[in-house]
């Protein structure tokens, strides 16, 4: 395993997926690409002072850098990428650490993607509202909808491991300090609320579900990349609007694995899917899907109808897993939310998701697994 010189690092970022089946033939299936993945490992850890928890939770992110601006931005150098992927960890007792990382390769490069396309339009709801509220425990408690959880700060998260939740960084940190309530952060799981004192699926038939309620689990620690903290939601900060939460105990539900985001042209129908707890439909889980309209190396621009509260939702697609010969859904991005962008002096708005790139995959996977050898498949 070796470190990566600067020039080689650019090649690492630009190398495309290997083994991708070309979309031709009557029986072609949209297939998960195979990637050569980098390794992101901790190098040193520094103890920091206890933070303030005074920031207001902001469910919208502002930036003056739109798709064309991002496409014109140079890819980070090796040293810059190490800075951005270094991370801050907050523990339930209020202590925190900063961890510096190294980036390595085992045997070759990593996958990467390019960008394409244009187009966008109005607000968070684009014309006819195409969102679907998910009702009934038979849907809400079943995969994939059961992987969506609610954060006590008002956002959405997605179960990505036995005790880990992926969400947006701005849901817990505004780029300067932590959001109010983060020290006692909780994650809510929808459960049926029964009449007649019934308690779950094994109770008598007289126990009729009246409505759903949230059961809460405390968060043990959180990880936020320094790219978000250093960027403070500006040009580079948008690219690092993601965070991982570790729960104090396992949630015992089926979770959705993370995966490296393929180029939009390789997505089934060019579409993405996600479910979240939109604020305008309190207590409801809201599902939607839509076409990707534009993309950069780090971001997906789309017109999925969404409202504040859906921020942090896991953006997923379903593709064919060639090795296991089965269809599999994976999280390929994190819904950042509604972002106003100054386009040549004229404000326009987008709904934006942060892509899971090979480097971000390596980082998030290490946060979850704690062993880079378990993070070789994206």
Q: Specify the pTM.
A: 0.83
Distance CA 118, CA 99 (A): 38
Distance CA 191, CA 200 (A): 9
For 60, other C-beta atoms within 10 Å of its C-beta total 14
Continuous segment of H or E residues that includes residue 317: strand 314-321
Catalytic choice (62, 95, 115, 235): 235
Whether the predicted pLDDT of 319 surpasses 70: yes
Whether the predicted pLDDT of 38 surpasses 80: yes
Is residue 27 among the annotated active site residues? no
Distance CA 153, CA 246 (A): 16
Residue 126's pLDDT is 42
Q: What is the per-residue DSSP string for 86-118? A: -EEEEETTS-EEEEEEEEEESSS----------
Q: Which residue has the higher pLDDT, 254 or 27?
A: 254
Distance CA 277, CA 135 (A): 13
Domain layout of the chain by residue ranges: 33-105+133-193+211-369
Catalytic choice (152, 261, 311, 336): 311
Is residue 170 among the annotated active site residues? yes
pLDDT in tens, 185-235: 999 998 877 655 545 444 434 344 457 789 999 999 999 999 998 754 455
What sign for the dihedral angle of Cα 58, 62, 63, 66? positive
Mean pLDDT for the chain?
80
Q: Which pair of tokens denotes residue 372?
A: 């880079």
CATH code reported for the domain at 33-105+133-193+211-369:
2.40.10.120
Whether the predicted pLDDT of 348 surpasses 60: yes
For 303, other C-beta atoms within 10 Å of its C-beta total 21
Catalytic choice (70, 164, 170, 273): 170
Q: What are phi and psi of 268, to 5 degrees?
A: -60, 115
Distance CA 158, CA 275 (A): 9
pLDDT in tens, 266-289: 999 889 998 989 888 887 888 888
Residue 108's pLDDT is 44
pLDDT in tens, 56-104: 877 666 666 777 777 888 888 899 999 999 999 999 999 999 999 999 9
Is residue 138 among the annotated active site residues? no
Which residue in 62, 41, 46, 171 sits closest to 105, CA to CA? 41
């Amino acid at each position: 395993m070796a470190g990566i010189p600067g020039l080689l690092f650019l090649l690492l970022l630009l190398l495309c997926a290997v083994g991708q089946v070309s979309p031709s033939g009557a029986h072609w299936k949209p297939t998960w690409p195979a990637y050569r993945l980098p390794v992101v490992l901790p190098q040193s850890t520094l103890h920091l002072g206890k933070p303030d928890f005074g920031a207001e939770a902001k469910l919208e992110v502002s930036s003056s850098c739109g798709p064309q601006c991002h496409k014109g931005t140079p890819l980070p150098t090796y040293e810059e990428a190490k800075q951005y992927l270094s991370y801050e960890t907050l523990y339930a007792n209020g202590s925190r650490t900063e961890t510096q990382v190294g980036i390595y390769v085992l045997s070759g490069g990593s996958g990467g993607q390019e960008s394409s396309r244009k187009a966008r339009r109005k607000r968070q709801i684009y014309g006819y509202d195409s969102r679907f509220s998910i009702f009934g425990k038979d849907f809400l408690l079943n995969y994939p909808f059961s992987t969506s959880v609610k954060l006590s700060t008002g956002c959405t998260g997605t179960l990505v491991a036995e005790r880990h939740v992926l969400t947006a960084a701005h849901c817990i940190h505004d780029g300067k300090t932590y959001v109010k309530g983060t020290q006692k952060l909780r994650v809510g799981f929808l459960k049926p609320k029964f009449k007649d004192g019934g308690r779950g699926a094994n109770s008598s038939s007289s126990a009729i579900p009246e409505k759903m309620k949230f059961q809460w689990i405390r968060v043990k620690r959180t990880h936020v990349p320094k790219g978000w903290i250093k960027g403070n939601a500006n040009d580079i900060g948008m690219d690092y609007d993601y965070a991982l939460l570790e729960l104090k105990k396992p949630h015992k539900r089926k979770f959705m694995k993370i995966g490296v985001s393929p180029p939009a042209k390789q997505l089934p129908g060019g579409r993405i899917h996600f479910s979240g707890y939109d604020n305008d439909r309190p207590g409801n889980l809201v599902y939607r899907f839509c076409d990707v309209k534009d993309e950069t190396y780090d971001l997906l621009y789309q017109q999925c109808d969404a409202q504040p509260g859906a921020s942090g939702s896991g953006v997923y697609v379903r593709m064919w897993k060639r090795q296991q010969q089965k269809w599999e859904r994976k999280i390929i991005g994190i819904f950042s939310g509604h972002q106003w962008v100054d386009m040549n002096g004229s404000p326009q708005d987008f709904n934006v998701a942060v892509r899971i790139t090979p480097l971000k995959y390596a980082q998030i996977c290490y946060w979850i697994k704690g062993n880079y050898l378990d993070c070789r498949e994206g």
